[in-house]
Structure 1
Amino acid sequence: MTQLSKYEAMIVKSGSKLTKQRKQILKVIVDHSDEHFSAETLYDLVRHIDSSIGIATVYRTLELFEKLKIIRNVKIKNDGVNYYDVIDLDEQNHFHHHLICTTCNRIIEIADELESYEAFIKEKYGFNVTDHDLTLYGTCASCQ
């Protein structure tokens, strides 16, 4: 079963309709799963496939997909724009983090090296970490 068909099954299982527009938006999201996207970026990509899809449909679909845990809102820039990325169903509980170059705005994803620190927090404070965001700002190797 492909990732796309798994996401489609999640939509149907939730009781939501798998409309033509949702399928098209989902396909674009999956095809660009290695990127972070805003609603406007997604809209620009989708309207090349189907110009009848409106920006409101994209926003509503993103809201549904976030609720179904197909995508997640990631805080990667302080520009007032919501960015999203796809949740890999094989690694649903895996957190990843971002390095953002303040010179070229390149976004580099890094794997979760904080798992041992989360275990330390659990042991020392009795606190179970269920979610977190980490974004580090600096200068990438290319811009140095």
Structure 2
Amino acid sequence: MDLKTYLKSYNIKVTKCRLKVLKILSDANDALTVEKIYKTCNDEGKIADLSTVYRSLDLFEEKNVVSKVDLGNGKYSYKIKGETHKHILKCNMCNKEIEIECPMDQVEEIIKNKTGFVLIDHELKMKALCKDCMDKANNEKKV
């Protein structure tokens, strides 16, 4: 992947730091913390301060280039967005369906960060009511 073209395709101004951060993320197999990105970024010589790395990652998140995963305790990890599978959420009352991104990516990162375990498979079963059906059910309770 040509990183300069990739950044330009998202209307992101190309800088040395942004290219380095994007390269680090694209070379990684897993999501990385800001501290790991910063350390890797500067291992070969000072390229950016920590605040510049944070700003680059915030911009990448805003432009939908990376996923930011909350690990708890004010820690986050980042990875380049790729093709993720989706799940269908279906209302139990009216059968209305919507497609959502798999929330297990975040859960997987939290599990790995806290326990060292890596999920190799998951099954996700959710039951839901849409807002209209919830409102209808709540109104019926009031009567």
TM-score (norm 1): 0.62
What number of residue pairs does the alignment pair up?
113
Q: 1:13 to 1:40 in 2, by over 3 A?
A: same
Question: What is the 5 A alignment of 1:64-75?
Answer: 64-75=59-70
Q: Is the 8 A contact 1:39 1:83 kept in 2?
A: yes
Q: 1:24 to 1:8 in 2, by over 3 A?
A: same
Instruction: Identify unmatched segments of 5+ residues in structure 2.
Output: 87-100, 132-143
Asked which structure has the greater CA Rg, the reply is 2
Once residues 19 and 110 of structure 1 are traced to their aligned partners in structure 2, the CA distance between those partners, rounded to angstroms, is: 36
Q: Describe the SS at the equivalent of 1:75.
A: strand
Tell me the equivalent position of 2:24: 28
Tell me the equivalent position of 2:39: 44
**Offset of residue 85 of structure 1:** 2.4
Tell me the equivalent position of 1:83: 77
Higher helix proportion, which one? 2
Tell me the equivalent position of 1:106: 116
Matched, 1:16 2:9: no
Deviation per residue, 1:90-133 (Å, 9 max, x gap): 3375422326279x73142455633x53xx53xxx236xxxxxx
Instruction: Identify unmatched segments of 5+ residues in structure 1.
Output: 128-144
Q: 1:107 to 1:87 in 2, by over 3 A?
A: farther
TM-score (norm 2): 0.62
